[in-house]
A and B are shown apart, each in its own frame.
Chain A
Amino acid sequence: MKVIGLADSELESSLRKAGIGMSVSEARSIATILGRDPTLAELFCYDAMWSEHCSYKSSRAVLREFLPTEGPNVVLGPVEDSGIVSIDDEWCVVISHESHNHPSQILPNEGAATGIGGIVRDVNCMGARVVATADPLRFGDPYGRESSRVRWVAEGVVDGIWQYGNALGVPVIAGDVVFSRCFDYNCLVNVVAIGVVRRDEIIRSRAPPGSGEKGYDVILVGKPTDSSGFGGVVFASDTLREEEEEANRGAVQIPDPFLKNVLFKANEDLFRLVREEGVEIGFKDLGGGGLTCASSEMGAAGGYGMELDLDMLHVAGEFPPEVLCIAETQERFLIIAPRELRERILRIYNEDWDLPNVYEGARASVIGRMTIHDRYIVRHRGEEVVNVPIKHLTGGIRYERAWRPRIRNLLEPAVKMPEDLNMVMLELLSSPNIASREHIYRYYDTEVQGNTVIRPGEADAGLIAPVRGKDFGIALSVDSNPFYGRISPYWGGATAVAEAMRNVAAIGATPSTLTDCLNFGNPEKPEAFWEFRESVRGLADAARNLWLKGYPDQPVPIVSGNVSFYNESPEGAVDPSPVIACVGIMKEISKAITMPLKESGDEVYLLGPRFDELGGSEYYRVIWGITGANVPVVRFPLERSMIYTVIDAVDREILRAAHDISNGGMAITAAEMCMLSDHGISIDISSLGDMRPDRLLFSESSGFIVEVVDGAEQEFVKIARSYNLNPVRIGRVSTGGIEIERDGKMLVRLDLEDARDAWSSGLREAMR
């Protein structure tokens, strides 16, 4: 395609006509490096590889500047498809976290399903067994201007998740859902997957040493390549506009959990083969950017070039070379392996697991070989259609984006004291952001694989015991509050980290690693980029200051993540949404605790002083329709002490229940501990200072409410004091309802049945 000699306007129009999203200057720089006009296929390959989605061209500098990615437990930081941290000397957790926002807004079912399909491949390709997923979801206002579209998206996304995940056979053990008007035109569908692998059986997504010299095979396995998802990464790197919806549908991939299920089993045989043979292979899933992205990244990571022949590819029809290169056909993997293993590898996929008969056109094909030169060469019909320096293709480009604070005139309002706090409690319990998640999680197979110890709804985090014969468990939680992010992207980032860590601590697990999926607006706008930068700074500060337990001054490392920009429509951008996942390690699963109250008469303690922090709270939003300004902040030493106290107390087996304080404040937290339980709670807040009762009860300052084993109160207080905390005894588990009093005056008295009715109907109604 002609680049050299064209005027800017001519080049611009010929790029757009061809369907290429890159800028004129980007196209020129490619022609300069090649010393000639690039081919159409080359431009498409560069367009995909240099897209925001693949190259992190806007975000990389910020991520490098702030994120702590190293720590004593890190085995593999954020350099490949997934991060890896150690559990013990033998076993590791593999984790990956991605978004599938744009596709899910356009085609909710397929979009959400493909999100899971991609993330589990990322984990599997490290040689790991995929053992759990979590789904953080953000939808628009179900009662707002776009209510029918919002409900259509929400229902489709949940259907896509269960239809894919259940069939694949990976349990959902965590997740969250937030509804807000800012997601009316841009839903957020994030997904986290975790796997387990032995440390000495990790497989890398790079061409292994010697593969160039020995001319290793490049083998593509899975679904036959078609045109689905062509241009997907470019589509994900732009703002959504309604008039382009039809065209964008073509950029959404088509997932197939059935084929994936069979592929995973065949992959296990591949892993076994290479272990037995003692050889190193390269193995990577095909995701954004398709064949070109997977193959060139593996080659470049190993320091080699490669030559591919598209005529050897198994395909689902006739397609031009640029489509075969970057289409995002799902359920495919790429293997770089010694030639001696060729026949045995092909047999695993094509005969033992019979791919051609399981799925029409699916198979394993040798499509090229590794070389020692530094070129990425692709042939089609005997012609060289791509011949570029491989590291130039994968190196991408960098932008220094400008940033400027977004000015919002948010004020702390003067609201009057509600006359009836019972009504306030019931309204909050039925808010779609607080109500029971049962309507959703009953669609998810939370039990498959038989490893589940704590399931959705039972506690703040899920827990699985994925290695039989071992006592340890892996806890998983996700968090992000867009209402805090709107007031302060910095504290939005920091509180997401703190809450995700509190969630795993609430069952007794020790936070071990974090991932971040950063969902923001258009980074070319300085305000949006400022929000991104501030959020990253906030979450990095929290990760650094909350410390890996047992290693003072060492961060809880962030080993994987994803940046999703352009979550923006002409109506505006989403509120800053840095979604955090936290993995915790539970040394002995038998000690883990859950949220519901267990024994009447047990004393209930509050950890965490109450501050006047109602900015972004459910109370302000639901009861008064305002955002406010006093956003909860993270007091790092205090936060750390609270988390450590709960972990130690669970380890000593002196807590029967724990729940972290977040949405709805301490009153809702206490009420939630009664919802699945047969017990009520009686609380007296007289000793908590003189803040007005509504502010005290509904402030979302961080903390925990815990039920202490009868007779162990002294020991619990002692542990807390050792961390310089003063836990406050606030009440008892009762046989009655939910009661809160102050100075002898009853503020709240709710029947359990009434509270449960409100709580259990809120989400069902919102999604009906």
Chain B
Amino acid sequence: MRIAVIQFPGTNCEHETLVAVKECGMDGEIFRWNRPEQELCEFDGYVIPGGFSYQDRVRAGVIASKEPVMATLREEAANGKPIIGICNGFQILVESGILPFGDGVRLALAQNVMIRGGEIVRRGYYCAWTMLRHDAEERRCSGSYILRRGEILSIPIAHAEGNLVSSDKKVIERLIEDDQIVFRYCSERGDIISEFPVNVNGSTENIAGICNPEGNVLGMMPHPERAFFAWQLPWKHPRVRGYGPGRIVFESMRRYIEERRL
């Protein structure tokens, strides 16, 4: 089972993402953007990691989304192979139109706007640990394949543009109807509260991650590779050996590939 971790100029999370892939028993390698894109077809799954591809020029993710490797990934997505885009990877998937419906750019990940009590209390970059509620059905999405609906994970975010918006209300309605909303920002008890700090970036419906209609492509703003080991967790968690909540995303990918093969 081989996973390609796609590296654009400006990507900066490829190494820890590859560690997560390998730790889950998958083979993997970092795939530089200017390698022949046909070589991508040999892989069983793909992760587009976080960073600032092409310096966020024009808009975060937009230049990378035009690279030949993304055209290949679109084909591989249509073949049902799993793709997980994390942070800038999510932005690239949205800009390439692979998410949400595979038919063009329907969403934007806009600048974070933190709102509390009807007032904007902060804007822009924010790095913090957040609580996520898994809102999709079990086995709905490649990157949350073995998570049950309603399970809660603690995973950090670090971005300036993760505020998911659409000018077309129907897009959000369709995401809800088709069970494409995979993760939502929630309180420690799992409640969806629309205000900061629970809704950490102002995202519509507290959306932190979505999948395509087929479920094989996942885009999420939080970084599961940074919550992969227990020692990476904040001070409140006991400092123990073993794994953290982010592992389940990569483990899900492996299980998804295994079951698809059967």
Q: Is A450 an interface residue (CB 8 A)?
A: yes
Stretch at the interface among A181-189, A338-346, A452-460: A452-460
Stretch at the interface among B125-133, B138-146, B205-213: B125-133
Which A residues are CB-close (under 8 A) to B232? 447, 450, 452-453
Q: Whole-angstrom distance from the CB of B250 to the nearest CB of chain A? A: 12
Produce 1/0 per residue, A451-489, CB < 8 A to B: 111110011000001001000000000000000000000
> Per a CB cutoff under 8 Å, which of A353, A450, A468 touches B225?
A450
Q: Whole-angstrom distance from the CB of A103 to the nearest CB of chain B? A: 21
Which B residues are CB-close (under 8 A) to A169? 12-13, 51
Please name the residue on chain A nearest to B19 by beta carbon.
A468
Q: By the criterion CB–CB under 8 Å, are B10 and A258 in contact?
A: yes
Q: Give A367-407 interface residues, CB cut-off 8 Å to B.
A: none
Q: By the criterion CB–CB under 8 Å, are A455 and B231 in contact?
A: no
Q: Whole-angstrom distance from the CB of A760 to the nearest CB of chain B? A: 12
Across chains A and B, the number of contacting residue pairs, with CB separation under 8 Å, is 97
Cα–Cα, bound, A455→B227 (Å): 14
Produce 1/0 per residue, A586-624, CB < 8 A to B: 000111101110000000000000000000000000000
Q: Is B54 an interface residue (CB 8 A)?
A: yes
Q: Whole-angstrom distance from the CB of B202 to the nearest CB of chain A? A: 15
Q: Is A448 an interface residue (CB 8 A)?
A: yes
Q: Is A684 an interface residue (CB 8 A)?
A: no
Given contacts A261-B9, A262-B9, A354-B34, contact A444 B127 (CB under 8 A): yes
> Per a CB cutoff under 8 Å, which of A258, A442, A444 touches B54?
A258
Q: Whole-angstrom distance from the CB of A98 to the nearest CB of chain B? A: 22
Which B residues are CB-close (under 8 A) to A257? 52, 55
Q: Is A358 an interface residue (CB 8 A)?
A: yes
Q: Whole-angstrom distance from the CB of B185 to the nearest CB of chain A? A: 15
Cα–Cα, bound, A404→B50 (Å): 55
Q: By the criterion CB–CB under 8 Å, are B12 and A261 in contact?
A: yes
Produce 1/0 per residue, B29-70, CB < 8 A to A: 000101000000000000000111011100000000000000
- B13, B124, B223, B239: most-surrounded residue (chain A CB, <10 A): B239
Given contacts A167-B52, A447-B226, A449-B16, contact A442 B10 (CB under 8 A): no
Q: Whole-angstrom distance from the CB of B262 to the nearest CB of chain A? A: 32
Cα–Cα, bound, A596→B234 (Å): 12
Cα–Cα, bound, A591→B232 (Å): 13
Q: Whole-angstrom distance from the CB of A439 to the nearest CB of chain B? A: 9
Q: By the criterion CB–CB under 8 Å, are B158 and A448 in contact?
A: yes
Q: By the criterion CB–CB under 8 Å, are A447 and B156 in contact?
A: yes
Q: By the criterion CB–CB under 8 Å, are B235 and A454 in contact?
A: yes
Q: Is A445 an interface residue (CB 8 A)?
A: yes
Cα–Cα, bound, A352→B223 (Å): 28
Which A residues are CB-close (under 8 A) to B126? 442-443
> Per a CB cutoff under 8 Å, which of A162, A450, A594, A595 touches B226?
A450
Q: Whole-angstrom distance from the CB of B201 to the nearest CB of chain A? A: 12
Q: Whole-angstrom distance from the CB of A131 to the nearest CB of chain B? A: 11
- B9, B16, B54, B236: most-surrounded residue (chain A CB, <10 A): B9
Cα–Cα, bound, A167→B127 (Å): 13
Q: Is A676 an interface residue (CB 8 A)?
A: yes
Cα–Cα, bound, A558→B226 (Å): 33
Which B residues are CB-close (under 8 A) to A590? 231, 239-241
> Per a CB cutoff under 8 Å, which of A354, A445, A596 touches B158?
A445
Q: Is B15 an interface residue (CB 8 A)?
A: yes
Q: By the criterion CB–CB under 8 Å, are A455 and B234 in contact?
A: yes
Q: By the criterion CB–CB under 8 Å, are A167 and B55 in contact?
A: yes
Which A residues are CB-close (under 8 A) to B90? none
Given contacts A258-B52, A258-B54, A258-B55, contact A596 B235 (CB under 8 A): yes
Cα–Cα, bound, A590→B241 (Å): 7
Q: Is A726 an interface residue (CB 8 A)?
A: no
Cα–Cα, bound, A262→B228 (Å): 26
Produce 1/0 per residue, A331-368, CB < 8 A to B: 00000000000000000000011100010000000000
Given contacts A262-B9, A468-B19, A592-B239, contact A162 B234 (CB under 8 A): no
Q: Is A569 an interface residue (CB 8 A)?
A: no
Q: Whole-angstrom distance from the CB of A438 to the nearest CB of chain B? A: 9
Which A residues are CB-close (under 8 A) to B231? 453, 465, 589-590
Please name the residue on chain A nearest to B229 by beta carbon.
A450
Cα–Cα, bound, A676→B54 (Å): 38
Q: Whole-angstrom distance from the CB of A129 to the nearest CB of chain B? A: 9
Given contacts A169-B51, A442-B127, A453-B231, contact A258 B226 (CB under 8 A): no
Produce 1/0 per residue, A301-338, CB < 8 A to B: 00000000000000000000000000000000000000
> Per a CB cutoff under 8 Å, which of B13, B32, B127, B239 touches A443?
B127
Which B residues are CB-close (under 8 A) to A256? 55
Cα–Cα, bound, A183→B156 (Å): 35
Q: Is A166 an interface residue (CB 8 A)?
A: yes
Q: By the criterion CB–CB under 8 Å, are B235 and A459 in contact?
A: yes
Q: Is A446 an interface residue (CB 8 A)?
A: yes
Q: Give A8-61 interface residues, CB cut-off 8 Å to B.
A: none
Q: Give B202-252 interface residues, CB cut-off 8 Å to A.
A: 223, 225-226, 228, 231-232, 234-236, 239-241
Q: By the criterion CB–CB under 8 Å, are A167 and B234 in contact?
A: no
Which A residues are CB-close (under 8 A) to B228? 450
Q: Is A681 an interface residue (CB 8 A)?
A: no
Which A residues are CB-close (under 8 A) to B16? 449-451
Cα–Cα, bound, A591→B240 (Å): 9
> Per a CB cutoff under 8 Å, which of B34, B54, B125, B223 touches A166?
B125
Which A residues are CB-close (under 8 A) to B13? 169, 448-450
Q: Give A482-532 interface residues, CB cut-off 8 Å to B.
A: none
Q: Is A93 an interface residue (CB 8 A)?
A: no
Please name the residue on chain A nearest to B7 by beta carbon.
A265
Cα–Cα, bound, A257→B10 (Å): 8
Please name the residue on chain A nearest to B241 by beta carbon.
A590
Please name the residue on chain B nearest to A256 by beta carbon.
B55
Q: Whole-angstrom distance from the CB of B67 to the nearest CB of chain A? A: 12
Please name the residue on chain A nearest to B30 by beta carbon.
A265
Which A residues are CB-close (under 8 A) to B235? 454, 458-459, 594-596, 676
Q: Is A168 an interface residue (CB 8 A)?
A: yes
Cα–Cα, bound, A757→B54 (Å): 41
Please name the residue on chain A nearest to B13 by beta carbon.
A448
Cα–Cα, bound, A756→B62 (Å): 42
Cα–Cα, bound, A162→B127 (Å): 11
Q: Give B80-121 interface residues, CB cut-off 8 Å to A.
A: none
Which A residues are CB-close (under 8 A) to B51? 167, 169, 261
Which A residues are CB-close (under 8 A) to B56? 167
Please name the residue on chain B nearest to A163 by beta carbon.
B125
Cα–Cα, bound, A465→B125 (Å): 25
Q: By the criterion CB–CB under 8 Å, are A458 and B234 in contact?
A: yes
Please name the residue on chain A nearest to B233 by beta carbon.
A453
Produce 1/0 per residue, A159-202, CB < 8 A to B: 00010001111000000000000000000000000000000000
Which B residues are CB-close (under 8 A) to A594? 235
Cα–Cα, bound, A98→B55 (Å): 26
Which A residues are CB-close (under 8 A) to B127? 441-447
Q: By the criterion CB–CB under 8 Å, are B9 and A258 in contact?
A: yes
Which B residues are CB-close (under 8 A) to A465? 231
Cα–Cα, bound, A458→B236 (Å): 10
Which B residues are CB-close (under 8 A) to A447? 127, 156, 158, 223, 226, 232
* 18 CB < 8 A contacts A-B: A166-B125, A167-B56, A257-B52, A258-B52, A442-B126, A443-B127, A446-B158, A447-B156, A448-B13, A450-B226, A452-B232, A453-B239, A455-B234, A458-B234, A459-B235, A589-B239, A596-B236, A676-B235
Additional A-B contacts beyond A448-B13, A453-B232, A592-B239 (9; CB < 8 A): A167-B51, A169-B51, A258-B54, A354-B9, A441-B127, A448-B12, A450-B228, A458-B235, A596-B235
Task: List the 4 closest A-B pairs by CB distance, nearest first.
Answer: A169-B12, A450-B16, A258-B55, A594-B235
